[in-house]
Amino acid sequence: MNWQQVFELLEIGELRAATQDSDGNWQANVEVKQAILAAFKAGENIAFEGPYQGFVDKHNLAPRQFTPQDKVRLVPGGSSVRRGSYVAPGVIIMPPAYINVGAYVDQGTMVDSNALIGSCAQIGKNVHISAGVQIGGVLEPIGASPVVVEDNAFISAGCILVEGVVVKERAVLAPGVTLSASVPVYDCVNEVMLAKGEPIPRNAVVIPGTRPMQSEWAKAQGLSMNCPLIVKYRDEKSDAALALEQALR
């Protein structure tokens, strides 16, 4: 398929930049990422007219436009959904927010103000992306998996998710949690450290924490580094806000 065909399928949700196998693991769709890179290469910078007058970008990556028939609420105030991304019916986008090329945002999800959904990021159903959340994108290297947030997760204000981290369904991230491939996550319930690249487990409630630095000089200075802490797990009856409130007390 050429990049135009790939983009058309991405925008109707029939093709995705990452797929989940039968074991629940996510892998990048290399063909999709190649097509997106080809579109950037083929694009020429132009000055847009009409509603986007004053902006300059690749001619083939203009922002998407929605109608009431799409059943997407795109509230006025400076948000943009780039071409080649999928936004499902029932999604609400508060201004200003940005959804980049290749991203997938499923039904019933809220994307709040000042939130970024980066290129190829995969967001599940009924996810709450709170104000100021930054979900990083990835186009290169071509085989790198994007950030994934599965169904019914709650991502609180100011969280940062980068480097292909995966947040499993119904997990809750407290305000200010930073997740990356290089920062270890400590499960204080099961008293283990998650392996590098291991997803945030289903129902986990994660808060920002610290861990002491190990060098003698750092110890002498009382220095510590940030790290996420799993402090509890939601049960099937608890809602995200209540689980978070109890975890932070």
Question: Which pLDDT value is given to residue 132?
Answer: 98
What does pTM read for this prediction?
0.94
What is the pLDDT averaged over residues 224-245? 86
Q: What percent of the chain has pLDDT over 70?
A: 98
- If you average pLDDT over residues 93-102, what whole number do you get? 98
Q: State the average pLDDT over residues 50-73.
A: 94
Amino acid at 240: A
Q: Is the pLDDT of residue 249 over 60?
A: no
pLDDT band at 240 (very low <50, low <70, confident <90, very high): confident
Q: What is the mean pLDDT of residues 27-50?
A: 95
| Nearest C-alpha neighbor of 87 from the set 97, 201, 147 | 97
Total Cβ atoms within 10 A of residue 144:
15
Of 39 and 235, which is predicted with more confidence?
A: 39
How many Å separate Cα 159 from the centre of its chain? 10
Phi, psi of 202 (to 5 degrees): -60, 135
Give me the CATH number covering residue 159. 2.160.10.10
Beta-strand relationship, 122-123 and 148-149? parallel
Residue 77, token pair as written in the block = 């105030």
Is the predicted pLDDT of residue 54 greater than 60, yes or no? yes
Mean pLDDT value across residues 180-206: 96
Q: What is the pLDDT of residue 123?
A: 98
Rounded Cα–Cα distance for residues 35 and 44 (Å):
16
Q: Residue 201: which of 162, 167, 242 has the closest Cα?
A: 167
Pick 58 or 142 by higher pLDDT: 58
pLDDT-based confidence at residue 242 (cuts at 50, 70, 90): low
Contacts of 4 (CB under 8 A, 6+ apart): none
Q: Which domain holds residue 234?
A: 3-248
pLDDT at 204 over 60: yes
Which tokens hold the place of 193?
A: 């450290």
**Number of domains the chain contains:** 1
| pLDDT band at 187; cut points 50, 70, 90 | very high
pLDDT at position 248, please?
Answer: 66
